[in-house]
């Protein structure tokens, strides 16, 4: 079993990552940042998104563990004060995992060239200036012409991020689905969209054909040049992200901790 440590550049995270590497070597664990079996992310949820994208070409066999240097997040089960317990769990790893669905984004250029991307959280298409105009297709047919600031398409685990801020629903990651939410859509007697989040199951696509220019295409922490994009397609990926889960924290408990706090 080989292990990688992926940390952000905060001083506290660098110190924790260094101490973690020392403890892992003391226990005879092999640190290999090139082709690991398990990736330990040290930082926050954003750091884990970075780790996911860094090892995205290896996700079929890589499992992730999140160690938070602040408070617990949606993807991080361990605190920096729990290094001993984490290393002990790594030492006794038996392949246990929990898997979550991913978003597959296909970008089709006007030349016909296709590019594929995976997102753990979401993809966002946004117009920084002016109004984004785009035709939305569902089931192979035009569903609506969107006008507004943009749209976000999220995975179930990403549904608690930008999607929730847009008024989207929080989806349990056991659901194999993606969700499209609108960002400041224009709705009046002339222009009309559904105005509600759309939840699309596996094997169906959301297709977006932009009718305006100079928009931004972002996925997790990445950005795609929008020049000459003809079409964007969103679907539940055939691939999943795998987490080495040594102790289970219920998803709804995570949501409660993040947004409501403990109820006495």
| CA dihedral of residues 140, 56, 97, 163 (deg, nearest 10) | -50
Asked about 45 being catalytic, the answer comes back as yes
**CB under 8 Å to 22, separation ≥6 — which residues?**
none
Task: Tell which phi-psi region holds residue 165, choosing left (phi > 0), alpha (psi between -120 and 50) or beta.
Answer: alpha
Which residue has 């006794």 as its token pair? 92
Selected catalytic residue, list 32, 45, 220, 227: 45
Short-list 138, 152, 126, CA closest to 210: 126
Which residue has 């012409």 as its token pair? 145
83/170 Cα distance (integer angstroms):
31
Contact 121, 106 (CB under 8 A): no
Contact 55, 27 (CB under 8 A): no
Known catalytic residues are 45
């Amino acid at each position: 079993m080989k292990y990688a440590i992926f940390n952000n550049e905060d001083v506290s995270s660098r110190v924790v990552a260094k101490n973690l590497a020392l403890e892992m070597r003391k226990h005879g664990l092999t640190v290999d940042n090139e082709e690991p079996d398990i990736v330990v992310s040290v930082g926050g949820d954003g750091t884990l998104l970075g780790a996911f994208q860094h090892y995205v070409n290896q996700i079929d066999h890589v499992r992730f563990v999140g160690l938070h240097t602040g408070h617990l997040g949606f993807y991080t089960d361990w605190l920096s004060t729990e290094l001993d317990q984490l290393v002990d769990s790594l030492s006794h790893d038996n392949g246990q995992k929990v898997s979550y669905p991913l978003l597959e984004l296909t970008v089709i250029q006007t030349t016909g060239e296709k590019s594929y991307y995976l997102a753990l959280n979401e993809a966002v298409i946004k117009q920084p200036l002016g109004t984004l105009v785009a035709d939305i297709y569902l089931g192979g047919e035009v569903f609506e012409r969107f006008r507004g600031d943009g749209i976000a398409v999220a995975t179930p685990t990403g549904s608690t991020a930008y999607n929730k801020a847009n008024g989207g629903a929080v989806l349990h990651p056991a659901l194999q689905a993606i969700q499209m939410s609108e960002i400041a859509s224009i709705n009046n007697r002339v222009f009309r969209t559904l105005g509600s989040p759309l939840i699309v199951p596996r094997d169906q696509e959301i297709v977006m054909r932009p009718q305006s220019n100079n928009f931004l295409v972002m996925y997790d922490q990445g950005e795609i040049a929008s020049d000459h994009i003809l079409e964007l397609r969103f679907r539940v990926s055939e691939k999943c992200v795998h987490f080495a889960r040594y102790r289970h924290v219920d998803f709804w408990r995570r949501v409660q901790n993040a947004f409501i706090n403990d109820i006495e």
